[in-house]
Chains A and B, each alone.
Chain A
Amino acid sequence: MTDKLHFEDFKAGDVAIYGPRHVTREEIVAFAAEFDPQPMHLDEAAGAASLLGGLGGSGWHACSLLMRMIADGFILNSTSMGSPGVEEVRWLKPLRPGVNLRVRVTVMETRVSKSRPDMGLVRMTFDMIDDTEAVVTTMISSLMMGRRNAGAAA
C-alpha cells in the first residue's frame, strides 16, 4: 500500500498530463445512444444543423472520458475515496470524432478534512485538451485522498 499516492503526495502547483486517448465516431454515437440520444450526438447532418456545427459527443461523454483518463492516470494508483462533487464543468469545444485527448491536471490547493482526519481534499483543475492544445472540457473538482499516517492520526 505504501507505493500508492496519498494526500501528502499532492502539492499546490503540481502539473501532470495524462493520455492520449483516441476517440472514435463509433464510441461517440454509442455513448449518445445509451445516455444522451439527441440527434446532434448521433448523426452528422443533425450535428451540422445544430450549434455544434457537426457531429459532437455528449458533454457527459466528455466528462466520462476525462474520468477514465484521470482514473488510469493516477486515481487507481492512489488512496482516492471518491469526490464530493464538481465545482464547475465548461464544455468549451465540441467532442469531435477522431480527436486525441489528453488531460492536464493542476493541483490548486490541498487541505486536511476537519470532520475526517484520515483524509484530505485535493482541489484540482482538469483541462481536457485536443491535438491542437485547445481545451475541449475544463473541470474544477476536489478529490478525497487518504492520509499516509491515517492510523496514527486517528
Chain B
Amino acid sequence: MKYFDDLRVGDLLMTGSHTFNAEEIKSFATRFDPQLFHMDEEAAAKSHFGALCASGWHTAAAWMRLMIDQQREILDAMTTRGETIPKRGPALGLRDLKWLKPVYVGDTITYRSEVTELRVSNSRPGFGLMTILTTGVNQDGATVISFYSTTFAERRAA
C-alpha cells in the first residue's frame, strides 16, 4: 500500500468479484433494508424488479469487503518485509453513487477502483485526500453500481 505522495491519478487500487446468493441477500435485507423485493422471492416477482435482488447498500458493502481483504494481503506482505505501513482511512464520504441495475441472485459482480483525484488535506497536515471511482459490472457486462469515495491517506514524513 502506498503513501499519499506515491499515489498517482489512474492507479488501479483493486479489482475483484463477488457472487450474490439468495441467503446473503436476504440476510442483509432482514437487518438493514427489509423491503419485500430484497426479502421474498414471490413478492419480488410481483414487483417492478421482477425477481429477488440485493439492497444497493449490500452491493456497496460487498465491494468494501473485497477491498479490505486485498489491502490486508498487501499489508501482511509489507509487514513481513519490515516496511512501514501508511495509515489509510477513514473515508470522508462519497458522491454520485448510482445503482444502475438490480443485482439478482447468482449475479457475479466484478468491481474495480481507480484513483481519480489527489489533494492535500487542510485539516490534517499529515494526510492527503484520495478520491477513487469504483464500478461494479455484472456477468453480462452491464454496470450495476458506480460511486466516487474520498479517503484519508497518510503522507510520508517530511
Contact A67 B55 (CB under 8 A): yes
Distance of B95 from chain A, by nearest CB (Å): 5
Total interface residues on A, using CB and 8 Å? 35
B65, B90, B147 — most chain A CB neighbours (10 Å): B90
Q: Contacts of A36 on B, CB cut-off 8 Å? A: 61, 64-65, 68
Interface of B is mostly: mixed
* B67 CB to nearest chain A CB (Å): 9
A54-82 vs B: 1/0 string, CB under 8 Å? 00101110011101100110011000111
Q: A82-B37, A85-B99, A86-B97 are in contact. Are A59 and B91 (CB under 8 A)?
A: yes
Contact A76 B94 (CB under 8 A): no
Residues of B within 8 A of A (CB): 28, 31-35, 37, 47-49, 55-57, 60-62, 64-65, 68-69, 72, 87, 89-100, 124, 127, 147, 152
| Contact between chains at A81 and B87 (CB < 8 Å) | no
Tell whether A83 pairs with B99 under 8 Å between CB atoms, given A40-B90, A59-B91: yes
Task: Report chain A residues within 8 Å CB of B93.
Answer: 59, 88-91
Mark A18-40 against chain B: 1 for CB-CB distance below 8 A, else 0: 00000000000000001111101
CB distance from B127 to the nearest CB of A (A): 7
29 A-B pairs within 8 Å (CB atoms) are namely A34-B65, A35-B64, A37-B69, A38-B68, A50-B87, A59-B93, A60-B61, A63-B57, A63-B60, A64-B28, A64-B33, A64-B61, A65-B32, A68-B32, A68-B34, A71-B33, A75-B35, A82-B99, A83-B99, A84-B98, A85-B56, A85-B96, A85-B100, A87-B96, A87-B97, A88-B94, A89-B97, A91-B91, A94-B90
Within the complex, the shortest CB–CB distance from A6 to chain B, in Å, comes to: 15
Is A51 in the interface zone, CB < 8 Å from B? yes
A92 shortest CB reach to chain B, Å: 8
A122 to chain B, nearest CB (A): 15
Question: If the complex has contacts A60-B57, A82-B99, A84-B99, are A38 and B37 also in contact, measured as CB distance less than 8 A?
Answer: no
- A34–B37 Cα distance when bound, in Å, is 23
Chain B residues with CB under 8 A of A108: none
Partner of A67, one of B57, B124, B127: B57
Task: Known A50-B90, A51-B152, A64-B32; judge A81-B48 contact (CB<8 A).
Answer: yes
Given A36-B61, A37-B65, A51-B89, is A83 in contact with B32 using a C-beta cutoff of 8 Å? no
CB distance from B90 to the nearest CB of A (A): 6
5 tightest CB-CB pairs across the interface, nearest first?
A90-B93, A64-B32, A86-B97, A85-B98, A35-B61
